[in-house]
Amino acid sequence: MIKTTAQKIYVGLIFLFLYAPILTLMMLSFNASRTRAKWGGFSLKWYADLFRNREIMQALWNTLLIAFIASFVAVVIGTVACIAINRMGRRSRAVMMGITNIPMLDAEIVTGISLMLLFISFGLKFGLGTILLSHITFCIPYVVLSVMPRIRQVDASVYEAALDLGAPPLKAFFKVVFPDILPGVLSGYLMAFTISLDDFIITHFTKGAGVDTLSTKIYTEVKKGIKPEMYALSTIIFVTVLLLLFLVNKAPKEKRGKIQTVKTG
Amino acid sequence: MKLNTVKHNKPAGRLLSAPFLLWETLFIIVPLAMVFYYGLTDRSGAFTLENVAAILGAEHAKALWLSVCLSFVSTLICFLLAYPLAMILANMNVNQHSFIVLIFILPMWMNFLLRTLAWQTLLEKNGVINNILEFLHIPPLNIINTPAAIILGMVYNFLPFMVLPIYNSLVKVDPNVINAARDLGANELQTFFKITFPLTIPGVISGVTMVFVPALTTFVISKLLGGSKILLIGNVIEEEFTQAGNWHLGSGLSIVLMIFIIFNMVISAVFDKNGEGNML
Amino acid sequence: MKKELINLIDISKSFDGELVLDELDLNVHENEFLTLLGPSGCGKTTTLRILGGFVSPDKGRVVFDGKDITSLPPNKRQLNTVFQKYALFTHMDIAENIAFGLKIKNKPKSYIDDKIKYALKLVNLEGYEKRMPNSLSGGQQQRIAIARAIVNEPKVLLLDEPLGALDLKLRQDMQYELIRLKNELGITFIYVTHDQEEALTMSDTIVVMNQGYIQQIGSPETIYNEPENAFVADFIGDSNIIDSIMLEDKLVSILGARFACVDTGFGTNKPVDVVIRPEDVELVKPEEGVIQGTVTHLIFKGVHYEMEVMANGFEWLVHSTQLFPVGTQVGIRVNPFNIQIMNKPESEDEEAAQLEA
C-alpha cells in the first residue's frame, strides 16, 4: 500500500511538473492585467481582442496551413517509402532506416542552418515555401517510424491473396493492406502535424522576413513582452485538441473493453 | 518463404522508394554537405580549418564546455527521473500504450516557447513557486537567469524523450523472464540489475541521445531562461547565422557539434540494432 | 506410496472476480511425474504459478516438505520452473544463463563450470557455452531452459507446457528426453499440458482439471480406461458417451438394448453415463450383434479404419482394423469389461463443468 501510494505521488509530481506551465499559461490568458507579473482579476478581454489582432491571425493561418500541407505530403512520401523499405533486403533496409533517422538524431539547429544554406545556394525566395519544404523534411521520419512497425505486421500473403483473386496491385493495396496500416498512418500524421505546429528552431532559420508562424511571432515578442492574446490563442488550441482527443479516444475504448470481456469470458 | 515471395518484387520496391530517396538526398544529405563545404572554406572559397579551429578560442570553448556540462547534467537528471517513472507506468498495466504516449505528446500542442517562458512566471522572485515556498516557510528559489534555470528548462522540455523509449523497452520485457530470474533465486534488486536494466539498455541509450543532442545544441532555452549573459554553443552559432552573418564560422562550429552528434548516432546504432528503443 | 512432498490445501484463486481455482486440494509425492491436464482456462497454469510463487492464492495453504511456504517469494523456494516460451535471458550467453542461479547463490567458479558442463551434457548440447539464446532453435532453447533450472538441484521441477511451441516430431523426442532426465535426476516433475497424449506418455500421475476443479486423479491407465465422469472420458481420447439406465448390477440398458457389464452398486433403474472407447466397439454380422445399425462414414487412419455407425438413434464412433464400407448393415457388440459406467453429475456446478467440454 505504502509503495503504491508513493508511486502515485511520484507520478503525480512529474505530471504536475509537465503540466504546470500549461496551467500557468491558461491562467495568464484570463488575467486582466497586461503584464504577467501581476494578477489583475479575471477577464475574457484577450479572447475578444485575439480575433481582432490581424498579425496573430495571419501567423495562426500560416502555422496551420504549413502543418496541414507538410504533414500530408510527409505521410504520402513516408508511407510509400515504408512500402518500399519493407520489400528491401536487410542491408538496403538498414541504410534506408539510417537515412530516415538522420533528422531525428541530428540537432535541429544543424538541420535548420543546413537547409538555410541550401535555399540560399539555390536562390530560393525565403517565405512560406521554404518553411514548407523544411517541415516536410523533418516530418517524414515521424511518419516512417509510426508506419513501419505496422507495415511489418501485415501478412504479405494477404496482399498476394488479393492479387491472386484478381485485384490489380493498386486496388489490392488500398483494399487489403491500407486498412491494416491506417492506424500507423494516422498516428504518423498526427505526430507530424504536432511536431510541425510546435517547431520553432527550423522555421527560425528558413522563414523569410515578414512571414511568421506562431512560434516565430512569439520569439520576436519575447523581448517586448508576450501579447496576452497569444496566451488566449494557445489556450483555445490546447483545449480544442484536448476535447478532440477525448472524443476520438472514447469510441474505440468502449470497443476494446468489449473484446477483452469476450476473451476472458 | 513468406519473406522471399515479397522480396522478388525488387524493381517495384526501388521505384516506390524513389520519391523518398530523392527528397532525403536533396533536403538532408545535400544540405549537410553544404554545412561541411561552408565550414571548411573561407569567404573566397579556399579550403581552411580556421572555422573549425575557432572552437578553441576562449569564448567559443567556454560556450561549448558550458553546453556540454549543462546537457550532461540535464540528461542525467532526465534519466534519474524517467526510469522510475517508466517502471511505474509499465507496471500499471494500463495496457494503453497510445494513452501513455499521448499524455507526453499533449503538452506540445501548447507552443514550446510559451511553455518555456511560463517557467519565468513560475520561477520569478514573486512567482508562483516562491509564493508556495514562502507559505511553507522554505527559503525562496532564486534560479531565474542562472544555469540552473536552463537545466530545468532542458529537463522540462526533453523529459518525454527519455521516458518514452525507456517505457517502450520496459513493456517489451517478457514478464516470464523476470519470473525466471526470481525462480532461480534472485531477489528483486538482483533481478533489476541483472535482468531488467540490461534488457532496457537500448531504450536508455535511445533516450540519452534524444535528450543529450537537443540539450547540447539549444539556443532557445538558454535565451528564454538564462537571461542574456549565458551563451551556449547553440547561441553562438545562431548569432553567426542571423546577426553576424558569418556562415563560414557558424558552419565550422556546427561541424564540431556534429562530431558529438555522430558519436551519439554510432552509439545508438551499436546498442539499438533493432530499433527497439524507438520513441513511438 | 512414497512420501508426500507438496500439499496444496484448500486453494482458491480468482482473477478480476472470476474464480479460477475453487478449493483445490492436491498432494504431490517425492520422485513423481505428475501432470496437470486440462483445456485452457482450467486452472492448471494458475496452480503451477502458485507453486512457483508467482501468484499468491486468495485462500488456502501451500505446504512443501512439511513447511508452509504460502507467502515465501519465488527466490526462496526449493523448486525451479521451465517456462512456456523458455524465458531465456537474451542478453547473456548460454553459460551465463545456466550459471545465473548458481552465481546468485555465490557458488565457487570451479563448481559453476562443472555444473554448466554437466547440465549441457545432460541435455545433449555440449559445447554451446558461448552461443547466444537467439541463435538456437526452439528445441535447443527448451533444453537450455531445462538445464538452467536443474543446475540449481531443485527438489521439484515445474514445467509449464514446455513443448507447446515445438513441432510434432521434436515434441515426441523431447517426451522421451524428459522421462530420461527425470529418472536420472530422481526429482519430482510437475508438468502442465493440454495435450492428453503427452500426459499419457510421460506421467506417473495425471490430474485432470476443468473450470478450477480437479475432475480425476489417477495413473494414465486408470484415467484412460476408467474415466470417472463424462468430461474426463471426452477429454482423454475419443469415446462414445451414452445416456443409459443401470437396470441392476451387471446389466445396463443402452439405447433400449440390454448389455452385460461388470459394474455393481449403482442401484436399480438408475440413469447413468456409459463410456465405450471406439476401439472397444466390435462390429459383427447384424444377427450376431446386440443392436443393429448402418455404417454412415468411413475414413482410413493408417493403423485402423474410423467408422461412424448409426444404431438406435446414436452415432457410434468405431475404430476397427476390418473394413465395413458405407451402407453396410452391421451388428454391435461390446465386451462387458469394456463398458465403463459413470454416475451422472450430482451438482449443477459439476454438470456445467462437464458440459463445457
Cα–Cα nearest to B245, from A192, A120, C356: A120
What is the C-alpha separation between B35 and B47, in angstroms, rounded?
Answer: 13
Residue B92 — pLDDT band, cuts 50, 70, 90?
confident
Q: Range of B219's domain? A: 57-271
What cell does B147 get? 544555469
Only one residue has cell 499521448, namely B102
Question: What is the average pLDDT value for chain B, to the nearest integer?
Answer: 86
Q: Are C37 and C194 in contact (CB under 8 A)?
A: yes
The pLDDT of residue B11 is: 65
Residue B6 — pLDDT band, cuts 50, 70, 90?
very low
Which of B174, B183, B273, B274 best probes binding to C when mutated, by most C CB atoms within 10 angstroms? B183
**A24 touches B at CB < 8 Å:** yes
What is the C-alpha separation between B77 and A20, in angstroms, rounded?
Answer: 19
In a domain, B229, yes or no: yes
DSSP string, C287-350: GGSSEEEEEEEEEE-SSSEEEEEEETTEEEEEEESS---TT-EEEEEE-GGG-EEEEPP-SHHH
> What would the pLDDT profile of B143-191 be if each residue is shown by its tens digit?
888 899 999 999 999 999 999 999 989 988 999 999 999 999 999 999 9
Q: Are B202 and B277 in contact (CB under 8 A)?
A: yes
Residue with the larger pLDDT of the pair B28 and A105: B28
Residue A197 has pLDDT above 70, yes or no: yes
Across A117-121, A158-162, C76-80, C249-253, least confident range: A158-162
Residue B207 has pLDDT above 70, yes or no: yes
What cell does C146 get? 531445462
Q: In Å, how far is B265's CA from the nearest CA of chain A?
A: 7
The pLDDT of residue C354 is: 54
- Residues sharing a CB contact under 8 Å with residue B21, sequence separation 6 or more, in sequence order: A96, A99
Contacts of C81 in chain B (CB under 8 A): 179-180, 183
The pLDDT of residue B273 is: 58
In a domain, B47, yes or no: no
The pLDDT of residue B8 is: 45
As a dihedral over the C-alpha atoms of residue C262, residue C263, residue C264, residue C270, rounded to 10 degrees, the angle is -120
Please give chain C's pLDDT, 357 residues, in tens.
578 999 999 999 998 888 899 889 999 999 999 999 998 888 999 999 999 999 999 999 999 999 999 999 999 998 999 998 889 999 999 999 999 999 999 999 999 999 999 999 988 899 999 999 999 998 899 999 999 999 999 999 999 998 887 888 888 888 998 999 899 889 999 999 998 889 999 999 999 999 889 999 999 999 998 888 888 988 888 889 999 999 999 999 999 999 999 988 888 899 998 999 999 999 999 999 999 999 999 999 888 999 999 999 999 999 999 999 999 999 999 999 999 988 887 655 555 555 554
Collapsed DSSP state (helix, strand, coil) of residue C40: coil
The pLDDT of residue A261 is: 32
- Residues sharing a CB contact under 8 Å with residue A236, sequence separation 6 or more, in sequence order: A47, A50
What is the C-alpha separation between C33 and A252, in angstroms, rounded?
Answer: 47
In a domain, B30, yes or no: no
Amino acid at C189: F
Q: Are C26 and C47 in contact (CB under 8 A)?
A: yes
Query: At CA B120, angle to CA B119 and CA B125, rounded to 5?
Result: 120
In a domain, B11, yes or no: no
Check B176 against C87: CB less than 8 A apart: yes
Q: In Å, how far is C31's CA from the nearest CA of chain B?
A: 20
Contacts of A114 in chain B (CB under 8 A): 31-32, 34-35
What cell does A37 get? 507579473
The pLDDT of residue B277 is: 47
Check B179 against C91: CB less than 8 A apart: no
Query: At CA C18, angle to CA C16 and CA C21, rounded to 5?
Result: 120
Which of B40, B105, B110, B253 best probes binding to A when mutated, by most A CB atoms within 10 angstroms? B110
Which of B184, B197, B199 best probes binding to C when mutated, by most C CB atoms within 10 angstroms? B184
Check A96 against B9: CB less than 8 A apart: no
Q: Are C118 and C184 in contact (CB under 8 A)?
A: no
The subunits that touch chain C, with at least 3 C-beta pairs less than 8 Å apart, are B
DSSP string, B100-147: HHHHHHGGGGS-HHHHHHHHHHHHSTTSHHHHHHHHTT------TTSH
Q: Are C31 and C203 in contact (CB under 8 A)?
A: no
What cell does B228 get? 542574456
Amino acid at C339: I
Q: In Å, how far is A47's CA from the nearest CA of chain B?
A: 16
What cell does C147 get? 538445464
> Within a 13 Å sphere around the CA of C45, how many CA atoms are in the beta-carbon half?
12
The pLDDT of residue B278 is: 53
Residue B229 has pLDDT above 70, yes or no: yes
CATH assignment at residue B80: 1.10.3720.10
What is the C-alpha separation between C86 and A209, in angstroms, rounded?
Answer: 63
Q: What share of chain C is helix, strand, coil (3-state, %, to 5)?
A: 30, 35, 35
User: Beta C156-160 vs C79-82: how paired, if at all?
Assistant: parallel
What is the C-alpha separation between C321 and A128, in angstroms, rounded?
Answer: 85
What CA–CA distances, in Å, run from A41 to A18, A231, C183, C304?
26, 16, 84, 92
Residue A100 has pLDDT above 90, yes or no: no
Residue A263 has pLDDT above 80, yes or no: no
Can you list the positions of beta strands (E) in A190-236? none
What is the C-alpha separation between C61 and C72, in angstroms, rounded?
Answer: 11
Which of C51, C54, C79 best probes binding to B when mutated, by most B CB atoms within 10 angstroms? C54
Q: In Å, how far is C26's CA from the nearest CA of chain B?
A: 22
Cα–Cα nearest to C247, from C268, C274, C272: C268
Cα–Cα nearest to C129, from C91, C156, C93: C93
Residue A74 has pLDDT above 80, yes or no: yes
What is the C-alpha separation between B228 and B231, in angstroms, rounded?
Answer: 8
The pLDDT of residue C353 is: 53
The pLDDT of residue A250 is: 67
Chain B residues with CB under 8 Å of a chain C CB are 174, 176-177, 179-187, 190, 194-195, 198-199
> What would the pLDDT profile of C23-47 be if each residue is shown by its tens digit?
899 999 999 999 999 988 889 999 9
The subunits that touch chain B, with at least 3 C-beta pairs less than 8 Å apart, are A, C
Contacts of B186 in chain C (CB under 8 A): 75, 100-101, 104
Number of domains in chain B: 1
Residue B35 has pLDDT above 50, yes or no: yes
What cell does C195 get? 495435450
Check B6 against A113: CB less than 8 A apart: no
Which domains, ranges and CATH numbers included, belong to chain C?
Answer: 4-225 (3.40.50.300), 239-356 (2.40.50.140)
Any idea how long chain B is? 280
Collapsed DSSP state (helix, strand, coil) of residue A75: helix
C166-199 core/surface letters (b: 16 or more CB in 10 A; e: else): beeebbeebbebbeebbeeeebbbbbbbbebebb
Residue A258 has pLDDT above 50, yes or no: no
DSSP string, C238-260: --EEEEEEEEETTEEEETTEEEE
- Residues sharing a CB contact under 8 Å with residue C353, sequence separation 6 or more, in sequence order: C210, C211, C213, C215, C231, C345
Which domains, ranges and CATH numbers included, belong to chain A?
Answer: 1-53 (no CATH), 54-226 (1.10.3720.10)
Residue A264 — pLDDT band, cuts 50, 70, 90?
very low
Check A100 against B102: CB less than 8 A apart: no
What is the C-alpha separation between A136 and B27, in angstroms, rounded?
Answer: 10
Contacts of A21 in chain B (CB under 8 A): 107, 110, 114-116, 118-119, 122, 156
The pLDDT of residue A132 is: 96
Share of chain A above pLDDT 70, in %: 93
Residue A139 has pLDDT above 90, yes or no: yes
Residue A174 — pLDDT band, cuts 50, 70, 90?
confident
What is the C-alpha separation between B157 and B73, in angstroms, rounded?
Answer: 14
Check A87 against B10: CB less than 8 A apart: yes
The pLDDT of residue B78 is: 97
In a domain, B51, yes or no: no
